[in-house]
Amino acid sequence: MAADKASEAKDLDLEDLLEIVCDLLAGVRQTVLDPGFELDVETKSNRNDLVTAVDKQIEAYISEMLMAATGYPLLGEEGHSVSSFAGRVWVLDPIDGTMNYVTTHRDYAISLALCEDGRPVLGVVVDVLAGLTYTAIAGQGAYCDWQPLARVNETRGRREVVIITDIKEIVALPRLTRCLLESRGHRRYGSAALECVEVAAGRAGAFVHMWVSPWDIAAAYLICVESGVKFTRLDGTPLDVRYPGSVLVGWPQAHTELLSALMRQVE
Instruction: Identify any residues that bridge with 137 across adjacent strands, giving them in sequence order.
Output: 122
77 is in an annotated binding site: yes
Integer Cα distance of 253 and 163 in angstroms: 13
210 near 239, Cβ under 8 Å? Answer: no
C-alpha separations of 255 from 34, 119, 149, 176, 232 in Å: 39, 22, 19, 12, 9
93 is in an annotated binding site: yes
231 near 243, Cβ under 8 Å? Answer: no
The dihedrals phi and psi of 184, each to the nearest 5 degrees, come to: -80, -5
253 near 154, Cβ under 8 Å? Answer: yes
216 is in an annotated binding site: yes
Q: How many CB atoms are located within 10 Å of the residue 164 CB?
A: 26
> Is 216 in a helix, a strand, or coil?
helix
Integer Cα distance of 30 and 41 in angstroms: 19
Integer Cα distance of 253 and 235 in angstroms: 16
198 is in an annotated binding site: no
DSSP-derived secondary structure letter, 264: S
Question: Rounded to an integer, what is the distance from CA 127 to the centroid of its chain?
Answer: 11
4 is in an annotated binding site: no
219 near 91, Cβ under 8 Å? Answer: yes
Q: How many CB atoms are located within 10 Å of the residue 36 CB?
A: 6
Integer Cα distance of 10 and 75 in angstroms: 19
Q: Which residues are annotated as a binding site?
A: 77, 93, 95-96, 216
Q: Which residues are annotated as a binding site for Mg(2+)?
A: 77, 93, 95-96, 216
